[in-house]
Amino acid sequence: MGGYILKRLLSAVPVLLGITVIVFLIMAMIPGDPATAILGSYATPENVERLNRHLGLDEPLWRQYFIWLGNLLQGDFGRSFALNRPVLDEILDRFSATLILAGTAFVLCSLLGILAGVVSAARQYGLADKAITFVVILGISVPSFFLGMMMILLFAVQLRWLPVSGMYSIWGGGDLPDLIRHLTMPAFALSVVATGVIARLSRGAMLEVLRQDFIRTARAKGVHERRVIWGHALRAAMVSIIPVLGIQAGFVLSGAVYIEMVFQWPGVGRMLVDAILKRDILLVQGGVVFVAACYVGFNIVVDVAQSWLDPRIRT
Amino acid sequence: MKLFLRLLFRNRLAGFGAVVLGAIVVLAVLTPVLPLHAPNETNTANRFLRPFAEGHLLGTDHLGRDLLSRLMWGTRLSLAVGFAAALVAGLAGAAIGVIAGYFGGRTDNVTMRGVDMLMAFPYILLALAIVAVLGPGLLNALIAVAVVNIPFFARNIRGITVGIAHREFIDAARLAGMGHTRILLTEVVPNVVPVVVIAMSTTIGWMILETAGLSFLGLGSQPPQADLGSMLGEARSALITAPHTSIVPGVMILLIVMSVNLLGDGIRDALDPRLRSGALARPMAATRVERKTVPAPEGEGLLRIDGLETQFHIGARVYKAVNKVSLDLKPGECLGLIGESGSGKSVTALSVMGLVASPPGVITGGAVRLNGQDLIGAPYEVLRALRGRKVAYIFQDPLSTLHPLYRIGDQLIEAIRVHEPVSRAQAHERAIKLLEDVRIPNARARARAFPHELSGGMRQRVGIAMAMANDPDIIIADEPTTALDVTVQAQILALLDDLRRSRGLAILFITHDFGVVGQLCDRVAVMYGGRIVETGPTAEVLEAPAHPYTRRLIACVPELGGGRRVLAAIPGLPPAVDDLPQGCAFAPRCDKAQDACRKGEIALTGAARQVRCLYPEVAP
């Protein structure tokens, strides 16, 4: 098991390098002169040239990459010109908010999705199955940002149950109940699409497994049907559900960008969108690399969970 | 194609999706000629008019622009962008996939590594990075969405191309001296196109959603031009005061994406042969029973099967897998049930405890009595309590019948604990004892093994140990040695015989091998086409088979040391049980068949030896 984890960690190194190369190349394609972009079109040529030298932009491309990579490895993501603070500080501040939002949504969609999928498969063609299938279709078709807006209208404006937006109340907030009240709507809106996808795949995986011979064996042993479904069948189905969870985590992270905009959530997604609109390139670059690296790390966790669950791939 | 359309529209939801999507597309195409306000005509005096206001069916937005008109133009734009993104992603992805898959080797390696790298990003990060470089704008959003989706297509198409590239017709083309370009264009691409089209049709909804998302963030279409996403984005600031400006474009996106998804699902299902045949149905906890009459018990016995009828209902077809089968089993007795594949012997065995997969299996008649208690139609809880405790099964292939992810010790412990309220530790000790009883060396360590870590013979011993777990009265062994090699087979048979003699077990032994029956069974019943054609004590049946089918079946078994002998295979195939001939089912393959054999029912006659034949080989 330890060997497997180590192997998996090592295999992530080229992926991470690839990510930095891709991001670097994309950013290098920016038309025009970055220094001009930073300083604005009224900058004097001397200033532009000085900044270019300062940023190492007069070096050849491959040297620029390695300088940038070296800085990244030392935790220096550069400085955001719009915010005038180190990129990494800003990212770390924002990332915890995104992590709370996306993490909650991810737990929510995993639990609800698997639950709905299993119930749906266990009652195939029954009323519950039809109802779940319908809700799932609706769920995977609704744009999360639209759903979020409608939830604000209903729960915050009409019913006044929950706060409209933000992460904490401006006055007197800041404790956990306050956070939960603010988190409920965005986390739910963010989880809906992934819940639908996971429910749908779980249903398929369960139906596949329920036809297997070892399910018949469990029944022949006299194992109770509830345990056949939630124990034997679900355990085997998890082998194909877990990778889907890994993929969906990426979609939850992506969807967080919209949800953060709708609910004014102070996360990385909103930071990135603002940075793009302000053409704060270093912040975009750093944010993308950072979040992508976190996602790669999460996928390693998923793979390890998978190997723990399925002894056949451990060897 | 016709079948495909029929299947598609039989799925009502898919039909609904097709109609809705069709209507939206037609309206979007017709938008320029419809009598609408100009979409960008502002009129700040009429800001935020509610729907059904005069002259503005859906009201107006924050600049007093007609919402209906903006909606139609926005829909048009969103559809066009989504479609274009799907097309670009599909074509580019397919090109990469085809080249990587066809050339293989290093080309494949390098390309697919690159694709994997792209897939390591959460999709929106990449899209945001691209928009950051190109700057906000609808065309740039389109490019971003298309690029982000290329890996998905490239991967799918590569997989399919690899499958095609190694087929004979490609080799033939190569041998005929065709160049790579020509082979790609004339042989590979035509085979890939349908897959690309289907993948594109199912992702258009997704593309529309993604571009709408970028526009919503303000990174897509720029004012005054608006697609559905940017309409929503602009309306967001007035969400609370004028909710209709948000609801109108939002509902439209929902409708489009939902109808595309419904249609896409319908297409996928209609093309999936497994769904068509109902092979994805889940078997229920117990076989469905539709029995009209209960036959009277014909006698005593530990297990009595009277006139059992089990059928498979698939579509309009009825397969009579088991047709009025009667058997009985006394305590400590071993009864062999023998027949070719598809003769109904396994279905008979599974019917006893309601384990026939249902759907499609249905028990339509007969009774199965265990100590006089009828099990057909018994409540699930009664059946479950007897499963494994009174009647236990051993199945054919122990690799697929043991749970692959549970340790064998845990599987044994579970078998014990479902029927007896013992502690885990006690059950564990008993499990070890059981493994020792079936002569698994080093049982304590092996209990921690997973099924895939054991050999076939060891696995089957585990299967037997599990069947023995609750000291059942009856073991139903469904071809337990078929998947094993001959020496292991002999060991397993010896083990079963031992257990049976030491514990007084009754065994119903299902096999297609007369050699095995001869070693183990007291009596034998021969099945053909879902019916019993002959029964009797094993030695007598083997010595002097009465039914022509039995005789021919025995003649198929080579005998060691029996000298040179012609092995006579039986010509023809076993009958299809959805279309049984009148009279004797074996008549078409029988060399003694007369006209009378092909008319009417033939009864099973005799007492200790019974045979269902008008012209038996020996008098029963």
Q: Would you state the structure tokens that stand for residue B313, as one six-digit string?
A: 């209902």
CATH architecture observed for domain B2-30+57-275 = Orthogonal Bundle (1.10)
CB < 8 Å to A19, chain B: 117, 120-121
Q: Mean pLDDT, to the nearest integer, of B268-285?
A: 68
Peptide bond into B404 cis (omega under 30): no
In this predicted structure, the answer to whether residue B277 has a pLDDT above a threshold of 60 is no
In this predicted structure, the answer to whether residue A52 has a pLDDT above a threshold of 60 is yes
Instruction: Give the per-residue pLDDT at A314.
Output: 64
Spatial contact of B128 and A281, defined as CB atoms under 8 Å apart: no
Q: Mean pLDDT, to the nearest integer, of B319-340?
A: 89
B602 phi and psi, to 5 degrees?
A: -115, 125
Find the CB nearest A276 among B128, B386, B402: B128
Pairing of strands B506-511, B317-329: unpaired
Most confidently predicted of A116-120, A311-315, B588-592:
A116-120
Distance (Å) from the alpha carbon of B389 to chain A's nearest alpha carbon: 8
Most confidently predicted of A171-175, B17-21, B161-165, B565-569:
B17-21
In this predicted structure, the answer to whether residue B183 has a pLDDT above a threshold of 90 is no
Nearest chain A residue to B466 by CA: give it. Answer: A221
In this predicted structure, the answer to whether residue A116 has a pLDDT above a threshold of 90 is yes
A67 against A56, higher pLDDT: A67
Spatial contact of A276 and B128, defined as CB atoms under 8 Å apart: yes
**Tell me: the pLDDT tens digits for B2-34?**
667 776 666 777 888 889 989 999 998 888 888
Task: Confirm whether pTM is higher than 0.90.
Answer: no
Question: Which secondary-structure segment (H or E) carries B361?
Answer: strand B361-370
d(CA B188, CA B174): 12
d(CA B25, CA B339): 60
d(CA B447, CA B432): 7
Find the CB nearest B132 among A138, A217, A276: A276
Q: Do A219 and B285 touch (CB under 8 A)?
A: yes
In this predicted structure, the answer to whether residue B430 has a pLDDT above a threshold of 90 is yes
Q: Mean pLDDT, to the nearest integer, of B244-268?
A: 87
Spatial contact of A139 and A192, defined as CB atoms under 8 Å apart: yes
| Beta-carbon-side half-sphere exposure of residue B14 (alpha carbons within 13 Å) | 17
- Please state which of the ranges A25-39, B156-170, B492-506, B602-616 shows the lowest mean pLDDT: A25-39
Strand, helix or coil at B522?
Answer: coil
pLDDT category of residue A173 using cuts at 50, 70 and 90: low
Q: Does domain B282-390+472-620 have CATH number 3.40.50.300?
A: yes
Name the percent of chain B lying above pLDDT 70: 95
- Residues 169..188 of A with a Cβ closer than 8 Å to B: which? none
Long-range pairs for B536-541: beta carbons < 8 A, 24 or more residues apart: B536/B606, B536/B608, B536/B609, B536/B610, B536/B620, B537/B608, B537/B609, B538/B336, B540/B609, B541/B609
Find the CB nearest A141 among B130, B239, B254: B254
Q: Mean pLDDT, to the nearest integer, of A228-233?
A: 93
- In chain B, ranges of CATH 3.40.50.300 domains: 282-390+472-620
In this predicted structure, the answer to whether residue A107 has a pLDDT above a threshold of 90 is yes
Nearest chain B residue to A125 by CA: give it. Answer: B281
d(CA A260, CA A183): 11
Buried b (16+ CB within 10 A) or exposed e, B28-49: beebeeeebbebeeeeeebbbb
pLDDT category of residue B546 using cuts at 50, 70 and 90: confident
- In chain B, ranges of CATH 1.10.3720.10 domains: 2-30+57-275
d(CA B615, CA B597): 9
CA B197 to each of CA A62, B27, B112, B194, B452: distance values in angstroms, whole numbers, following the listed order? 40, 24, 22, 5, 41
Distance (Å) from the alpha carbon of A104 to chain B's nearest alpha carbon: 17
pLDDT category of residue B425 using cuts at 50, 70 and 90: very high
In this predicted structure, the answer to whether residue B278 has a pLDDT above a threshold of 60 is no
d(CA B485, CA B504): 28
d(CA A280, CA A83): 9
CB < 8 Å to B214, chain A: none
Q: Mean pLDDT, to the nearest integer, of A90-112?
A: 93
Q: Do B257 and A141 touch (CB under 8 A)?
A: yes
Strand, helix or coil at B211?
Answer: helix
B contact test, residue of A98, A219, A239, A274 with most B CBs within 10 A: A219
Spatial contact of B320 and B311, defined as CB atoms under 8 Å apart: yes
pLDDT category of residue A38 using cuts at 50, 70 and 90: low
- Nearest CA among B143, B142, B136, B147 for reference residue A279: B136
Spatial contact of A260 and A269, defined as CB atoms under 8 Å apart: yes
Name the percent of chain B lying above pLDDT 90: 20
d(CA B70, CA B158): 41
Instruction: Give the per-residue pLDDT at A101.
Output: 93
Degrees (nearest 5) of the Cα angle B608, B609, B610? Answer: 115
Name the percent of chain A lying above pLDDT 90: 26
Q: Would you state the structure tokens that stand for residue B223, as one six-digit string?
A: 């004012």
